[in-house]
């Protein structure tokens, strides 16, 4: 992203980030910054390197080249728990609830082990209730995660991330598999996070969601940055639409008004 103030280091700053899997180049030479309080949407077709990018930032994968700075601190190749304690939270594309624990206990883990980690179980559990309230899972704290609907399981994934009280939130397709009706409440949660000044990087396939929350959109293609800019300019870019989102999307865009 452009125009970071010199006074404050950006929350996320990646420089020349790349990752190879043997002969396959999953990501190459990705550089951008995300200033505090901004939301960056990342789009791109399957295999573009979106999830790889998130895994490189969170330490679930080690980059083969480039550097990652969180709040000006070099966190390249740090282990996932170090990154989490540095204030970075993420959701997983395939939800990863901890089975055998209640929904409340799932969220409490982040409060026990996160950056502001408490050692007192009762504090963590009551704070977990607040986080559940925030994402609209308030009444379901005693449920087993396996009993949740797809939409609620996605919200639990978000609640677990928020339990870390992060400064940077990485969302890996939190809207995937949701019906239109279920998307709106999740968007409301993300909007309220934005209002509170959260810095967000959202990987998403649901264009409606990307348009609604992103200050800027970055397009990945075959592991490289194709283009970036405001959502409107990027999505209007004929190269992006043709090469990438395909004819069908272009046609649908003409039919549906993009005011969502």
What are the residues binding another protein (CB under 8 A)? 58-60, 79-81, 83-85, 89-90, 92, 96-101, 105, 108-110, 112-115, 117, 119, 121, 126, 129-130, 133-136, 138-142, 148-149, 151-152, 160, 163-164, 181-182, 185, 188-189, 191-192, 196
| φ/ψ of residue 227, rounded to 5 | -165, 170
Residue 39 vs 228, nearer CB to another protein: 39
Minimal distance in Å, beta carbon 31 to another protein?
24
Nearer to another protein, 91 or 228 (CB): 91
DSSP per residue, 171-214: EESTTTT--HHHHHHHHHHHHHHHHTT-EEEEE-S-HHHHHHH-
Cβ closest to another protein, residue 196 vs residue 257: 196
Q: Minimal distance in Å, beta carbon 115 to another protein? A: 7
Kindly list the distances between the CA atom of residue 137 and the CA atoms of 103, 105, 122, in Å, as whole numbers in the listed order: 9, 13, 19
- When the beta carbons of 160 and 221 are compared against another protein, the nearer one is 160
CB of residue 19 vs another protein: minimum separation in angstroms? Answer: 16
As measured in angstroms, the least distance from the Cβ of 73 to another protein is 16
Torsion-angle region of residue 136: left (phi > 0), alpha (psi -120 to 50) or beta?
Answer: left
Q: How far is the CB of 175 from another protein (least distance, A)?
A: 14
Give CA separation, 34 vs 23, 95, 115, 201, 248, in Å.
Answer: 30, 25, 21, 8, 31
Which 3 state secondary structure label does DSSP give 57?
Answer: helix
């Amino acid at each position: 992203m452009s125009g970071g103030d010199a006074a404050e280091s950006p929350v996320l700053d990646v420089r020349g980030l790349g990752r190879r899997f043997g002969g396959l180049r999953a990501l190459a030479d990705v550089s951008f910054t995300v200033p505090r309080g901004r939301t960056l949407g990342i789009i791109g077709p399957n295999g573009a390197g979106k999830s790889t990018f998130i895994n490189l930032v969170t330490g679930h994968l080690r980059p083969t080249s480039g550097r990652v700075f969180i709040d000006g601190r070099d966190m390249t190749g740090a282990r996932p728990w170090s990154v989490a304690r540095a204030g970075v939270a993420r959701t997983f594309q395939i939800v990863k609830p901890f089975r055998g624990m209640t929904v409340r206990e799932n969220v409490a883990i982040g409060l026990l082990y996160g950056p502001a980690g408490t050692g007192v179980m009762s504090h963590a559990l009551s704070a977990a209730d607040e986080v559940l309230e925030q994402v609209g899972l308030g009444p379901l704290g005693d449920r087993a995660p396996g009993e949740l609907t797809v939409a609620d399981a996605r919200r639990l994934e978000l609640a677990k991330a928020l339990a870390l009280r992060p400064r940077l939130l990485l969302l890996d397709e939190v809207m995937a598999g949701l019906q239109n009706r279920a998307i709106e409440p999740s968007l409301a949660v993300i909007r309220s996070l934005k209002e509170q000044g959260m810095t967000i990087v959202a990987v998403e396939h649901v264009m409606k969601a990307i348009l609604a929350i992103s200050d800027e959109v970055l397009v990945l293609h075959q592991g490289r940055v194709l283009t970036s800019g405001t959502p409107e300019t990027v999505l209007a870019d004929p190269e992006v639409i043709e090469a990438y989102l395909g004819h069908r999307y272009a046609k649908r865009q003409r039919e549906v008004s993009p005011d969502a």
